[in-house]
Structure 1
Amino acid sequence: MAAPADYFLAMHRDHDPRTSRRSGGTGGGTADLATGPYRVDRDRVASSPFFARLGGVTQVVSSTGSGLLVHNRLTHSLKVAQAARAIAERLNTRPDLVGVLDKLGGCDPDVVEAAALAHDLGHPPFGHLGEQVLDRLARHRFGLSDGFEGNAQSFRIVTTTDVRGPKALGLDLTVAVRAAMLKYPWTRLSHPTPHPRDLPAPPRGAAEPPDAPGTGAAKFSTYVTELDDLTQAREFYAGRLEPWQQTVEASVMDTADDIAYAIHDLEDFHRVGVLQHATVSAELNTWLDQALDLAELSAADLAAQQRRPGRSLETLRRRLHAKDSWAVDDGAFAQAVAKVRSELVDGLLAVPFDGSVEAEQAVAGFSSRWTRRLVDAVGVIEEPTTRSGHVVLATAQWHEVQVLKFVHRRFVLLRPDLALHQRGQARLLTALVEALEQWATDRHEADRLPRRLHDLIELATAEYTALARTDPGTLVGATGDGPSGPDAVRALARGRAVVDFVASLTDNQAAALLDAVSGRTGQLWTDAFVL
C-alpha cells in the first residue's frame, strides 16, 4: 500500500491540468514503460522515428560521405536536453524561486527534457537552409499562408503527423510538454489577437523579416492546422503569462538551445580546421584595440569597411543596441570579447586540432567549462521585457553568448565554400518538391504514390476542408488571397502534404529520392527508407 505522502502526490498529479493529454486523459498507455506523465512524454519522443531521423539531418554542414565528426540534429538535441535539464534542476534548488516558478506555471526537469528532445523534430533535410527553401516553396508555389517553419513543423509532428501515439494521431503529449515546445507561441499571421508582431517592441522572432514585409512573423511555432492544439496547451497559462510569452519551461529549453548552439558548433569547426586562429584573432583583437575609433565611424563608412578586421564585431555591437537595448551594455560587451579572446583564440584555437589525446582534451575542456559557466548563470525574472523570456542569462554571460554566436556566423556560416554547397542543396530540395507535386497531380500515377505521402494528402485534405468551412480567414495569406472552391482547397492540402513528406526525410533520403524520380539511378527507390 502506498504511503500517505505518495498517495497525496499521486492524487495531486491526477488532478494537475498540466498533465492533461490532447485525448483528454492524464496517464500513459499500456505500451508506455514510465509511470510519470512527463517521463512518458520523454520516452515517446525518444522512440519516435522522427527523432531517429535527426541523426541524418544537417546541423550546419552534413557529415554524410565526408567522414567529418560534426554534430547533427540528433546529437544537438541530446545536448540541448542535457543543458535544459541541468538548468531546470538548478532553478528548482533555489528557495527564492519556488514561489515565482509556481506562479508562472511550473518548471519540471522532465518537461524541459522532453521538450528539448522534441524541439528540432521538424527540421528538414540540410537544416536551416532546407527550412528556408521549403518556406519559399510552401508560400509561393503552393499558396500556403503560413509557409514552412521548423518549430511549427515540430509541433505538427507531435500533435498530428507522428502515428506512434496511442491514437495514431500525434504523440498525445501532456499540456506542459506541448506548451514547453512553443518557443514562439503564435501563428505566422493570425493568432493571437493582437498579433505580437504589432507590439511596439515585438518578441524575438515575431517581427516580419525586413526584406519581406507583409509576410507575417519571421518565426512561429504553430500552423493554422494546429491552432486548436496551441490553444488547448496554453489554456492553463492564461492569466499567468501573456499570450505571446513563453512558459518558463519553454524559456529554459530556448536558453539551453542557445547555449548548445554557441558552444558545440565552434567545437565542430575547430575540429575540422575551419575556424582559423589568425582570422578570429585579428577580428577580436582589432576591435579591442580600436573600439573607440570604430564606435565613431558612420554607418556608411562601417559598411564600406566590412571586410577589414574589427568592423563586423562593431556591427554586432550596434545591432545589439538597436534590437536588445534592454540588455546590452558596452562595458560587458568589451569584457565578453576579451573573455572569448582569452578562452577561444588564445586557448582552444592557438593549437591546431590534430586528433591527439591532448587536442581532444582541449576541446572537451573548452566545451565543459563554457557549458557549466553558462548553465550556472541562468536566472529567472518575473516581469521580463517583450524581447526576453522569464529565464535569462546573467549580463556577462548573455554578452558572451552573443560574441560566441558571432564568431560562428562570421567565420563559418558566411564562408563562400559553405554557400556553394548550400546552393546545390537548395536546388536539390526544389527539384524534389516539384517532382513529387507532379507525381501527386498525375491522374495516371497518383494511385502509386508512396503510401506515406498518400496518407499525408488525405490528412491535409481533411484539415484544410474543415478550415475552409469553419475558419476560411486562416487560409488567407498576407496578400488577401485565399482558396476559392474545393479544387483550390485540395491544392493547398496537396502542397502541405508534399512539404510534410520532404521535411520528414534525412539528407541522404532526399538525395536518393530525387535521383530515383529524375531517372538518375537504376536502384529501386524503395531501398531508401522513407517515413
Structure 2
Amino acid sequence: MDDTAHRTTPYDPSAEARWVPEPDKRPGRTAFQRDRARVLHSAALRRLAGTTQVVAPMRSDFPRTRLTHSLECAQVGRELGAALGCDPDLVETGCLAHDIGHPPFGHTGEEALDQAAEACGGFEGNAQSLRILTRLEPKRFAPLDEAPARLAPWPGRSVGLNLSRAALDAATKYPWPRGGHPTNPTSTKYGVYADDLPVFRWLRTGAPADRKCFEATVMDWSDDVAYSTHDVEDGLQAGHIDPSALRSVEERAELFKIAERYAPEAAAEEFGEALDRLQAQEWWPKSYDGSARARAGLKDLTSQLIGRFCLAAEQATRARYGPGPLTRYAAELVVPPGVRVECAVLKAVAVRYVMQRDEQAQLRARQRIVIAELAYVLGQRAPEGLDPVFRALYEEAEDDRAALRAVIDQIATLTDASALALHSRMVGQAWT
C-alpha cells in the first residue's frame, strides 16, 4: 500500500466530505487518493487524448493534446503543492480535472458552443468541467429517497464522480456563475451553470466569496506554467518558432501586443525586459535544427522554465506566509510580477508563431462551422444522434433550455475526430 495513505493531514472532515456520503471500499486510503483515482480512471479524462490543445491531434504525432497537457500540469502542480504543504493528491486531482470539460477543437470549439448554447445560458469549458465531475460522468447516483432540496433537480440522479468538496474546489478556477466575475461583469469566464448551482453552493460552503482556494491557485499557476512552456517547446520542435526572430525589433513589437492580453497590468517596457532576461539565460536556444543535441537542449529549456517559474512562486509565497502547510483559504499563491510577465511573453510566442499561422486560422474557421452545424442538426433531430446518457437527459428535460443543454452536453463530450465523424453522419459532408 502507498505509504502516503498514513500521512497526517491538515484538512478537516468538511474538506473531505462528498455530495453523497459513501463508504470507502478499501480503508486506509485518504479521501484525496480516492479522488485522484476516480479522475484518472474516468472516460472524461481519456477523451482529452483526442482533443485539441493548440494543434489538432490528428495533424501529426508530436503535438500535445488536452490529455498530455493535463498530465503535465498535474506533475507540476503536485510538486509545487507538496512544497507548500498542500496534499499532493488533492492538487494533482484539481490539475487533472481542470480541463476535463473542454470540448472538441479546443478554444475554437468552446467559442462556437457558447454561441450555439446562448438560449440555455451559454457554454464555458470550466463550468462544463464542474458539470462533468458532478453530473455527467457516471460513477455514483443519489439515493432514490434523497430529499429533492438536497439533490436538485431530482433524487436518484447521477452525481458524477462524487469527489470530495476540497477536490471540486481545487478544480474550480472561476468560482462564480456567468456574469458574476468579482471585478468584470462582462467577463466570459465563469465556473458554474445556473442549473448546477446547488452542488456549487455545497462545494463552496465556508469559502470566502469569489476567492479561489489555495489548491486552485496552485492548479491555475501550474496550468499557466505547463502550457506556456510546452507550447513553445512544441512550436520550436515543429519549426514554427525561429529563436532569432525574437531579436527583431519589429517582431518583438508585434509579440508584446499579444502579451498585453495575458498581463494587462504590466507596463510596456516590462515585456521587453522579460524577454531579455529569458534570452540572457545560458539554456535559452539560439537556434534549433532538430538534431539530437538540439532536442536535448529543448527539453532542458522546458525543465529550466518550469523550475524557474515554480521556484519563484514557492519562494515568494513562503516569504509572505512563512513555513508550515498552506491549504484551503489560509493563503494565496504569490507569483512575482516579473515572472508573470515572462510567462505572458511565452504565451504570446506560441500565439503568434503557432496559433496565428494561416493554415490554423483556416482550420479554426472550418471547425466553427462543424460545431454550429452539429448543434443545429442535433437540435432539430434530437433525440436522434444522441448517446444514451444524453438521450435520457433530453427526454427528461422539463423545458427547451434543458433540452438544448442536453444537446450541448453531447457535443462537448466528443473528441475532435468523433465530432467530425458525427458531423459527416448527421450533416452529410466530410471534413478534414
Matches within 5 A, 1:438-517: 438-440=380-382, 446=383, 449-458=386-395, 461=397, 465=398, 489=399, 491-517=400-426
The 1:137/1:86 distance shift into structure 2, 3 A limit, reads same
CA offsets per residue over residues 232-290 of structure 1, 9 Å max, x none?
A: 111132xxx3x1111101100000000011100011111111112343331xxx2xxxx
Contact 1:44-1:165 at 8 Å conserved across structures? no
SS in 1 for 2:420: helix
Structure-2 separation of matches of 1:130 and 1:260: 21
CA offsets per residue over residues 10-37 of structure 1, 9 Å max, x none?
A: 9x97x61100000135x53x3x697110
CA offsets per residue over residues 290-339 of structure 1, 9 Å max, x none?
A: xxxxxxxxxxxxxxxxxx43432453576678x42xxx367754431202
Matches within 5 A, 1:295-306: none
Matches within 5 A, 1:314-329: 314-315=256-257, 323-324=264-265, 328=266
**98, 120, 125: which is aligned to 1:144?**
120
In the other structure, the counterpart of 2:176 is 186
Counterpart residue identity of residue 345, structure 2: V
In the other structure, the counterpart of 2:93 is 114
Offset at residue 108 of structure 1 (A)? 2.2
CA offsets per residue over residues 456-503 of structure 1, 9 Å max, x none?
A: 3145x2xxx4xxxxxxxxxxxxxxxxxxxxxxx2x1112101110000
**361, 373, 379: which is aligned to 2:296?**
361
Structure-2 separation of matches of 1:435 and 1:337: 47
The 1:314/1:268 distance shift into structure 2, 3 A limit, reads closer
Alignment partner of 1:249 is 2:249: no
Structure-1 separation of matches of 2:246 and 2:252: 10
Counterpart residue identity of residue 16, structure 2: T
Matches within 5 A, 1:209-220: 217-220=187-190
The 1:349/1:144 distance shift into structure 2, 3 A limit, reads farther
In the other structure, the counterpart of 1:170 is 160
SS in 1 for 2:334: strand
Offset at residue 416 of structure 1 (A)? 2.1
Alignment partner of 1:24 is 2:14: no
The 1:513/1:401 distance shift into structure 2, 3 A limit, reads same
Structure-1 separation of matches of 2:19 and 2:82: 27
Structure-1 separation of matches of 2:278 and 2:423: 43
CA offsets per residue over residues 374-394 of structure 1, 9 Å max, x none?
A: 111114357xxxxxx921322
Structure-1 separation of matches of 2:135 and 2:304: 40
SS in 1 for 2:117: helix
Offset at residue 423 of structure 1 (A)? 0.4
Contact 1:183-1:250 at 8 Å conserved across structures? yes
**362, 370, 386: which is aligned to 2:305?**
370
Offset at residue 9 of structure 1 (A)? 5.5
In the other structure, the counterpart of 1:300 is none
The 1:496/1:34 distance shift into structure 2, 3 A limit, reads farther
The 1:63/1:449 distance shift into structure 2, 3 A limit, reads closer
Counterpart residue identity of residue 258, structure 1: D
Offset at residue 432 of structure 1 (A)? 1.4
Structure-1 separation of matches of 2:189 and 2:384: 36
In the other structure, the counterpart of 2:324 is none
In the other structure, the counterpart of 1:485 is none
Contact 2:378-2:384 at 8 Å conserved across structures? no
Matches within 5 A, 1:8-407: 16-25=13-22, 27-28=23-24, 30=25, 35-64=29-58, 66-92=59-85, 107-139=86-118, 143-145=119-121, 147-165=122-140, 167=142, 168-189=158-179, 195-197=180-182, 202=183, 206-208=184-186, 217-237=187-207, 241=208, 243-282=209-248, 286=249, 308-315=250-257, 323-324=264-265, 328=266, 333-343=271-281, 347-348=284-285, 350-352=287-289, 354=290, 356-378=291-313, 379-380=316-317, 390-407=332-349
Offset at residue 349 of structure 1 (A)? 5.2
Offset at residue 447 of structure 1 (A)? 6.8
Structure-2 separation of matches of 1:82 and 1:313: 29
Structure-2 separation of matches of 1:518 and 1:230: 37
Offset at residue 351 of structure 1 (A)? 2.4
Structure-2 separation of matches of 1:448 and 1:432: 10
Counterpart residue identity of residue 342, structure 2: E
Contact 2:228-2:343 at 8 Å conserved across structures? yes
Please, which moves more after superposition, 160-169 or 250-259? 160-169
SS in 1 for 2:299: helix
Contact 1:21-1:175 at 8 Å conserved across structures? yes
Offset at residue 225 of structure 1 (A)? 1.3
Identity within the alignment, %: 31
Structure-1 separation of matches of 2:369 and 2:260: 35
SS in 2 for 1:392: coil
Structure-2 separation of matches of 1:336 and 1:449: 49
Structure-1 separation of matches of 2:409 and 2:260: 39
Contact 2:278-2:284 at 8 Å conserved across structures? no
> What's the TM-score, normalizing by structure 2?
0.85
Offset at residue 508 of structure 1 (A)? 0.6
Contact 2:242-2:288 at 8 Å conserved across structures? no
The CA RMSD measured in Å over matched residues stands at 2.6
SS in 1 for 2:159: coil
Count, aligned residues:
397
Contact 1:340-1:403 at 8 Å conserved across structures? no
SS in 2 for 1:220: coil
Structure-2 separation of matches of 1:207 and 1:414: 29
Structure-1 separation of matches of 2:262 and 2:42: 39
